[in-house]
């Protein structure tokens, strides 16, 4: 996995709002006007990229952008406006269960006639679609577990201990070669993809950006710690069966041994993590702060909402023989119309 201490280059802007944010980051122009933020489609490319740019300053930043921009008060005000639009839409558009138990019950049961992305890739996916899936997911997996780590200082007792235990596994249990971001970079190498952090930001669809923005939104706000725990639970509970199908897809398409290993690793690890998250992290949090139960349920259900939107895009484009990426992979052009 290539490492760039300067961060990845800024991506191409996707509209007025993201262009203004980039100009401000480089010191070449003003931030977007309030009316432009208000007019941008909330799940669209422009708003989601602008929000992603703001959040990425808290991770590795961008080449040519001063680290001081992380706490730029004007930029933080713009980020708050973008967040308000995103969070408001999530609360309006997400059907939320009445209780945490009800929310968990729905994702603990695998549908008999699964029609999701992992089912599609396992049963009929082609190698070019597997490569696209990896390029999309690289926006998260090359910083896997980082958005969830923000919540650790906001927990205590059983919840903190359980969360730290799972995060320790995600970071390789002290072994750099087993860090899950490292394993995903190895998967990308098998698939002939670039492994540098943020390389596929231009390619990632708005729906993929929204899934990563959701994690950062929940993780960076103490008031949303319950939602972050809910999100984490949704990821860990659904990961093991989904990873089993994706491992089979890697084998069927000849993706390579490292690609197979990444998902095989998650089948085993996340089956254990599921128990820890349910009983220690959620159980511990609600024992201390029972008033956060609605937020935990919201986090679970909002995760399903953004993941469903991503799945709808991937399947619609792939079934039509088209690239799902905002910018198709160069080597894919011979495979798509």
**pLDDT tens-digit map of 6-63:** 799 999 999 999 999 999 999 999 999 999 999 999 999 999 999 999 999 999 999 9
pLDDT at 5: 63
Please state the φ and ψ torsions of residue 181, each to the nearest 5 degrees.
Answer: -65, -35
Domain co-membership, 27 together with 81: yes
Domain co-membership, 85 together with 172: no
pLDDT at 331: 63
Task: Provide the sign of the torsion angle of the four alpha carbons 323, 204, 211, 5, taken in this order.
Answer: positive
Domain co-membership, 120 together with 245: yes
pLDDT at 269: 72
Distances (CA, A) of 156 to 225, 286, 327: 12, 11, 43
CA distance 44 to 50: 10
CA distance 189 to 261: 13
Q: Is residue 5 in some structural domain?
A: no
DSSP state of 30: P
Task: Reduce the DSSP state of residue 175 to 3 states and report it.
Answer: coil
CA distance 253 to 115: 19
Q: Is residue 9 in some structural domain?
A: no
Q: What is the span of the domain harbouring residue 156?
A: 98-332
pLDDT at 330: 83
Please state the φ and ψ torsions of residue 324, each to the nearest 5 degrees.
Answer: -85, -5
Which of 61, 92, 123 is the last residue before a domain boundary? 92
CA distance 20 to 252: 45
pLDDT at 272: 79
Which of 24, 58, 92 is the last residue before a domain boundary? 92
Task: Reduce the DSSP state of residue 68 to 3 states and report it.
Answer: helix
Helices (H), the chain: 16-26, 34-39, 45-56, 73-93, 100-108, 117-123, 127-141, 146-149, 157-170, 180-190, 206-219, 225-253, 257-276, 283-288, 293-319
Domain co-membership, 171 together with 282: yes
CA distance 287 to 162: 14
Q: Is residue 65 in some structural domain?
A: yes
Which of 69, 92, 115 is the last residue before a domain boundary? 92
- What's the structural domain count of the chain? 2
Note the pTM of the prediction, 2 decimals. Answer: 0.94
Q: Is residue 4 in some structural domain?
A: no
Contacts of 322 (CB under 8 A, 6+ apart): 336, 337
DSSP state of 77: H
* Both tokens assigned to 93: 């558009």
Residues lower than pLDDT 70 in the chain: 1-5, 112, 270, 331-337
Q: Is residue 326 in some structural domain?
A: yes
**192-217 per-position pLDDT tens digit:** 999 999 999 999 999 999 999 999 99
């Amino acid at each position: 996995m290539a490492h760039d201490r300067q961060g990845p280059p800024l991506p191409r802007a996707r509209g007025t709002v993201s262009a203004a944010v980039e100009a401000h980051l480089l010191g070449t122009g003003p931030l977007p006007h309030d009316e432009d933020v208000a007019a941008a489609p909330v799940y669209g490319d422009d708003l989601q990229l602008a929000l992603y740019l703001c959040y990425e300053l808290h991770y590795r930043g961008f080449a040519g952008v001063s680290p001081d921009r992380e706490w730029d008060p004007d930029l933080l005000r713009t980020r708050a406006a973008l967040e308000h639009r995103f969070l408001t839409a999530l609360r309006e558009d997400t059907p939320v269960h009445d209780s945490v138990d009800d929310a968990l019950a729905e994702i603990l049961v695998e549908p008999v006639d699964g029609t999701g992305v992992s089912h599609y890739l396992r049963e009929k996916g082609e190698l070019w679609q597997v490569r696209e899936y990896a390029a999309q997911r690289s926006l998260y997996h090359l910083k896997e577990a980082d958005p969830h780590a923000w919540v650790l200082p906001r927990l205590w007792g059983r919840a903190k201990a359980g969360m730290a235990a799972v995060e320790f596994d995600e970071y390789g249990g002290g072994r750099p070669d087993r860090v899950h971001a490292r394993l995903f970079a190895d998967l990308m190498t098998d698939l002939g993809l670039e492994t540098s952090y943020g390389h596929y930001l231009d390619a990632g669809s708005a729906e993929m950006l929204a899934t990563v923005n959701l994690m950062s939104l929940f993780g960076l706000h103490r008031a949303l710690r319950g939602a972050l725990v809910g999100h984490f639970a949704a990821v860990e509970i659904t990961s093991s069966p989904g990873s089993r199908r994706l491992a089979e897809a890697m084998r069927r398409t000849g993706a390579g041994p490292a690609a197979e290993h990444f998902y095989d690793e998650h089948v085993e690890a996340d089956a254990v993590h599921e128990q820890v998250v349910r009983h220690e992290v959620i159980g511990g949090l609600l024992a201390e702060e029972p008033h956060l139960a609605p937020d935990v349920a919201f986090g679970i259900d909002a995760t399903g909402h953004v993941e469903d939107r991503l799945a709808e895009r991937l399947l619609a484009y792939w079934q039509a023989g088209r690239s799902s990426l905002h910018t198709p992979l160069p080597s894919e052009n011979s495979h798509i119309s």
